[in-house]
Structure 1
Amino acid sequence: MTLYIVWALIGLQVKHYIADYTLQWPSMIAGKCDLKKAGGYTHAAIHVAMTLPILLLCGLSLATIAALAVFEFVVHYATDYAKGWYDCKHKLDVNTRHFWAVHGADQLVHQLTYAIILAVIMMSMRV
């Protein structure tokens, strides 16, 4: 079981890097602070789509996978929306400590989401 968790963690980390830092285009970034724009929803959906193979490889039930997919989508979207809204309202400068503290908080929430996903995988693998 330990090896599954390590590989799932690596998969989630690589997925996060790809989805957050290489697969975002300007319309996604710009749309994160507006509930009416598709950018934030598309970005969260990409995260979920890339998580699904990891969950499937862990042998989780389809119900568990569906619940984790909804959980990740809602938390990821809400976190990015809150950060985007705050950024839009305060016009944070990338060269300030304030910007990086907000960015770090956003990333912390995403990492805690993965910790919860890993906990569910571990609980599901118990016999």
Structure 2
Amino acid sequence: MTSLLVLLFLFQIKHMFADFFLQTPRMLSDRGRYVHAGRAQHAGVHALGSAVALLIVGAPVALVLPVIVAEWLAHYHIDWAKGRWSDRTCHTPADGGYWRAMGVDQALHQMTYLAMAWAWVVWA
């Protein structure tokens, strides 16, 4: 149980830095486009951070690799959907819709971390 809580803690710290401190202008621009190098880089920062977190708790590399590929794909698509929604609605931080989209985005990322932790518990 302690290792699981440590893993979830590490995912939270990683998420805070990757989503709120380490994003570059390239990562933040033109978020509604599907093919977007900045979003791919942003999802890569998340995947790399998750790999470190999983390795810290002793996850085998054979589990880490498929889990972080799945996270990269999930993160890329969650952020694309939010960007597309934001482009269509033109919501700004002054609008409730902006914050609802942000809340759904963040909740989906958190659910991704729960699924990753579940995979670690079951297969590691």
Pairwise same-fold verdict (TM > 0.5): yes
Q: CA deviation at 1:32?
A: 2.5
**8 Å CA contact 1:31, 1:40 repeated in 2:** no
CA RMSD in angstroms comes to 1.2
Task: In structure 1, list runs of 5 or more residues that go unmatched.
Answer: none
Give the residue type in structure 2 aligned to 1:108: A
| Match runs of 1:1-127 below 5 Å | 2-125=1-124
**8 Å CA contact 1:31, 1:38 repeated in 2:** no
Q: How many residues align?
A: 124
Give the residue type in structure 2 aligned to 1:33: G
**8 Å CA contact 2:6, 2:57 repeated in 1:** no
TM-score by length of 2: 0.94
Q: Which runs of 4+ in 1 moved over 6 A?
A: none
For residues 94-118 of structure 1, give each alpha carbon's deviation from its aligned partner in whole angstroms, at most 9, with x where no partner exists.
Answer: 1111110011000000000000011
Q: Percent identity?
A: 28
TM-score by length of 1: 0.92
Q: CA deviation at 1:80?
A: 0.1
